[in-house]
Amino acid sequence: MGEKKKNNMTVLLGAAFLMATSAIGPGFLTQTATFTGQYGSIFAMVIICTILLDVTTQLNIWSIIGVSGMRGQDIANKVLPGLGYFIAFLVALGGLVFNIGNVGGAATGLNVMFGLPVKAGTIIGGAIGILIFLSKDAKSGMDKMTKYLGSIMILVVLFVAFKSKPPVGEAVTSVFKFSEAPGLVFPMITLLGGSCGGYITFSGAHRLLDAGFSGTKDLPEVRRSVLMGITVSGTMRILLFLAVLGVVTAMPQVVGSDAWVASPPAAAFQAGAGVIGYKIFGLVIFFAACTSIIGAAYTSVSFLKTLHPFIMENEKWFVIGFIAVSTVIMTLLGQPATLLVLAGSVNGLILPLTLLTILLASRRKDIVGENYKHPMVLIVLGLGVVLLTGYSGIMALPKILTIFG
């Protein structure tokens, strides 16, 4: 409890940036660049809709975790005995596999910036995450690192956006071309899953619980923190979209080129700002990967630690072990594409399940208390997200099954 009293704003910002930078990983960069190249200015509608759906999802989950004072897995076990264990397993599995990709992203960034071999970059990326949690005040260090690196990422992407001169007016008017909406549902769901699927949406909420924020008295601060986090991730998504849009509008031949196939965001940054842009891409993906390594490891273990006292007592070492295992697997496998496809599919299935569980919990007095009434608008909008993502997950099931042959 003392951590909360020490510095409220530091913790609130730390939780906000932990969630935002967990969402801004290597997959975030690639998805946004790929879809911008595919759809052009009309993709602005997807960016705005994703941010609005993200607000709905995160406000629901953070509010119920905050007011109940319980972590996601404990709420799930109250809603349906045993469900929390199942969700904890899925979240930890998805977090582990995504962390393999995050460590790979750190290696890619170091390779772009300094020409380091991928294996050496992989080890350095994992080591940075481990060093954060070996420090005396690991959670404070985590707050500071995500805050500083998140801020730098926004500034450098803003620079590329200015350099690429995107057609901002065209993008703004495209937001209101509602006739195009039916063809944009699947990219929107893909981006939503990347923004708040799996462990991501719980990262900041669990961080606030660790800092002592719980109960109706702290709900305004919890909601303030989640809105700050969505502002950060939303700003980054808009700037990245504009940076890539400027490139693909001025140089449409970039899309589909060998460089684009290898890495859409790298090709866009290089085309938009030359060698400096390419190095900025390396910096951004390195920072994005490092912050996502921290977020994935911390949140995945936070889902496991209330399931057994031994994990609770040795939380720091489990987080370090989580990062170490991710690093070793990435070093041995190189590019675990199949695992990353599986992780994306699993996270797509987790989101509707976890959000529906939270919405059911919002009506349970034994979870939220006698006096708390969850806003009906959040429940209705939340059910809409559940239906959208649930349908998308069902449609993806055949692909998941083919992964296993």
Q: Quick one: pLDDT at residue 397?
A: 66
With b meaning 16 or more CB within 10 Å and e meaning fewer, what string describes 373-383?
A: ebeeebbebbe
How far apart, in whole angstroms, are the C-alpha atoms of residue 315 and residue 302?
Answer: 8
Phi first, then psi: give them for residue 79, nearest 5 degrees: -65, -45
- Residue of 259, 292, 44 whose CA lies nearest to 153: 292
Q: Quick one: pLDDT at residue 347?
A: 67
Q: Quick one: pLDDT at residue 336?
A: 47
Q: Quick one: pLDDT at residue 97?
A: 81
pLDDT single digits (tens) 269-294: 999 899 999 999 999 999 998 998 99
- Name the amino acid, one letter, at 308: H
How far apart, in whole angstroms, are the C-alpha atoms of residue 100 and residue 111?
Answer: 17
Question: How long, in residues, is the chain?
Answer: 405
pLDDT single digits (tens) 115-128: 999 899 999 999 99
CATH of domain 7-404: 1.20.1740.10
Domain ranges of the chain: 7-404
Q: Quick one: pLDDT at residue 283?
A: 94
> 321, exposed or middle or buried, with CB in 10 Å at 0-12, 13-18, 19+?
middle
Cα angle for residues 325, 30, 47 (degrees, 5° grid) = 120
With b meaning 16 or more CB within 10 Å and e meaning fewer, what string describes 263-302?
A: bbbbbbbbbbbeeebbbbbbbbbbbbbbbbbbbbbbbbbb
Maximum CA pair distance of the chain? 60
- Alpha helices for 115-212 (secondary structure H): 118-134, 138-164, 168-174, 185-196, 200-210
Q: Quick one: pLDDT at residue 1?
A: 46
The Cβ of residue 81 has, within 10 Å, a number of other Cβ atoms equal to 9
Q: Which residues, given as ranges, of the chain have pLDDT below 50?
A: 1-2, 5, 336-337, 404
The alpha carbon of residue 126 and the mean position of all alpha carbons in its chain are separated, in whole angstroms, by 18
